[in-house]
Amino acid sequence: MGFFNFFKRNISEQEFQEQQKMKYGLEKTRTGFFQNIVNTLTHAQIDDDLYDTLEEQLILADVGPMCAVRLVDELRDAVEEKHLKNGQQALDELRQIICQELTPRYPMELDGKPAVILVIGVNGVGKTTTIAKLAHLYKEKGKRVMLAAGDTFRAAASEQLELWADRAGVPLVQAGQGADPAAVIFDAVKSATAKGYDMVIADTAGRLHNKKGLMDELAKISRSVKKASPEASLEVLLVLDAITGQNAISQAEEFCRAAGATGIVLTKLDGTPRGGCAVSVWENLGLPIRFIGVGEKIDDLMEFDAQTFVETLLPEEALQKEEEEKEETSGEEQA
Ligand SMILES: Nc1nc2c(ncn2[C@@H]2O[C@H](COP(=O)(O)OP(=O)(O)O)[C@@H](O)[C@H]2O)c(=O)[nH]1
Ligand SMILES: [Mg+2]
């Protein structure tokens, strides 16, 4: 115990704000299927029925059948090994297992000059919005950010990004419809290097590529990034829509390794009660989640923190109780 002591952990004001934002963003998921998991475990005796129920509930939360079975197996082993006695202890163990599952195995590559982030994914998942949010986030951190309109397939894509670039207050490099995306990104990296920008974030077209086409295009972009600046680093973020959850993950499996993706952005977590798909991303795609989208506004993107995520979805019972009490008292005060 202790690892997840939500109350006893001393947190800064900023961490508190992050927790609140995550709580709000994950409202549907945390008050839905994950709430059931907490309720099931908190009051239960540990037996085979409990494991069956838990497995079902994890699947309902969209954790994915294979991942759910494995997590429950891990939990069962841990319960035996550590001689855990009750559901509360099992819940604490489950938090740790899921947290480990969600913790990135390697850091993001952002130390290049400039740091290039290429954003890929199928149409409608939230690529362009995510790029605007990323620009905002890194600008707030004091970085000089430039955008590249690499989605040259549709004229509207560039216009949409232009609006967002204005809102975020960052420059945008764009070319006409049908231009070569690798050339646009080359120009952006060149320009960023010349002007001393720290970061280039590039949009790409969301056509459903075949594997070879996608591979070739990304290889070409990657070469042009290096050609434009030998000191550039490249992070390729694949955007997945949490609303389509497991479906999105199985679709992505097809091409994500081929595409050389290095990380995942999971968008629209605010729009689904089944945000559990996050838990199976590593098992299915072998990629860490780097950011989560929790709304449509420019600051509705969060850097992914596994511990805060798990504490939000599987809070300690005491936390919920205290909140209820707080609500009751404030209700009384108003009355
Ligand atoms: N609720 C919610 N909507 C989002 C989020 N991210 C993107 N969207 C919406 O998803 C739609 C498609 O986004 P867009 O960035 O154009 O997707 P793209 O085709 O991949 O570039 C837009 O209506 C966005 O406002 C999110 O985190 N939460
Ligand atoms: Mg787009």
Per-residue pLDDT of the chain in tens (335 residues, 90 and over written 9): 445 554 456 778 888 888 899 999 999 988 988 999 999 998 888 999 999 999 999 999 999 999 999 999 999 999 999 999 999 999 999 999 999 999 999 999 999 999 999 999 888 999 999 999 999 999 999 999 999 999 888 888 888 999 999 999 999 999 988 889 999 999 999 999 999 999 999 998 876 556 777 778 888 999 999 999 999 999 999 999 999 988 888 888 876 766 789 999 999 999 998 899 999 999 999 999 999 999 999 999 999 999 999 999 998 854 555 455 555 555 555 54
Nearest CA to ligand 1 atom 9: 126
Residues 6+ apart with CB under 8 A from 254: 211
Distance from residue 119's CA to the centre of ligand 2 (Å): 10
Q: Are strands 289-293 and 301-303 parallel, antiparallel or unpaired?
A: antiparallel
For residues 126 and 317, give the distance between their C-alpha atoms in angstroms, rounded to a whole number.
34
To test the ligand 1 pocket, which listed residue (27, 29, 129) has its Cβ within 8 A of the most ligand atoms? 129
Ligand 1 neighbours, Cβ below 6 Å, are 121, 123-129, 206, 267-268, 270-271, 293-296, 300
Q: Where in the chain is the domain with CATH 3.40.50.300?
A: 115-261
Distance 154 CA to ligand 1 centre (A): 16
| Test site for ligand 1: of 296, 302, 304, most ligand atoms within 8 A of the Cβ | 296
Tokens in use for 35?
A: 């709430």
Domain 115-261 grouped into CATH 3.40.50.300? yes
117 CA → ligand 2 middle, Å: 15
d(CA 88, ligand 2 centre) in Å: 44
Omega into 114 within 30° of 0, i.e. cis? yes
| Eight-class DSSP state of 108 | -
**Nearest ligand to the C-alpha atom of residue 164:** 1
Strands in 233-241's sheet, in edge-to-edge order, are 172-173, 145-148, 199-202, 115-120, 233-241, 263-267, 289-293, 301-303
Q: Where in the chain is the domain with CATH 1.20.120.140?
A: 19-104
What is the full DSSP assignment across 153-213? S-HHHHHHHHHHHHHHT--EE---TT--HHHHHHHHHHHHHHHT-SEEEE--------HHH
19-104: what fold?
Four Helix Bundle (Hemerythrin (Met), subunit A) (1.20.120)
